[in-house]
Amino acid sequence: MNLLEKEALIRDAAETLESESPEHILRWAIERFPNITFACSFGAEDVVLVDMLQKISPSTDIFYLDTDLHFKETYETRDRLEAHYGLKFVRVSPKLTLEQQAEQHGDELWKSEPTACCNIRKVEPLTNILGKYEAWITGIRRDQAPTRANAKKIEYDVKFGLVKFNPIANWTSEDVWNYIREHNLIYNPLHDQYYPSIGCEKCTRQVLPGEDPRAGRWSGFEKTECGLHK
């Protein structure tokens, strides 16, 4: 399928898929784009999609970006999911180790230039892994942040040059947690400790009552995204 054909398909499908369930969208996506992958960060939204994919297409690749800076609870959640479903997540690492990054850019780059750190440890590795696929699946939701408010269930990702599916874009946080409870899913225990959005340990803090759910990410900086989706 060439680019023009993909654009026409996306245009026609965007309106139709808007009213469909996440499971329907996943089946539709995998049928038309078998060379597809799911980017998992082991947050609440992503464990929902891991569960759905294991029921629909357990052979679909699921990868995660290992920044070497995740919370130990995140790595433990990864291990528990692998054991429960009998799967192996594809580990995607940055080119630079933390030691090499410190040598080239200074110690604790995340404190002085968090965007540069995200580029090295997230965006560049993501660009490399997505180059192997024709479509990808994410767990973003429209009400997570203003930068995600216009996300469609299917869209063309200009930044990375492939088709992007957001099956739960119209879900609320309550929808996510209802699914987790209904299906008794494994999830990151940090969610129970006032971490609604979990990134790297260095750049994530607890969210206080009344704060925006993403206020705990890059607190103190005018930054709301790591660069993966905007």
Concerning whether 40 is annotated as a catalytic residue, the answer is no
Side-chain-facing half-sphere of 77: CA atoms under 13 Å: 22
Identified catalytic residue from 117, 200, 203, 226? 226
Nearest to 46 by CA among 171, 161, 154: 171
Angstrom distance (rounded) from CA 78 to CA 229: 22
Angstrom distance (rounded) from CA 8 to CA 5: 5
Query: Do residues 136 and 42 lie in contact, with contact meaning Cβ atoms separated by under 8 Å?
Result: no
DSSP 204: B
Residues 6+ apart with CB under 8 A from 140: 45, 148, 151, 166, 169, 229
Strand order in the sheet with 162-165: 90-92, 61-65, 36-39, 135-137, 162-165, 154-157
Q: Which residues are catalytic?
A: 226
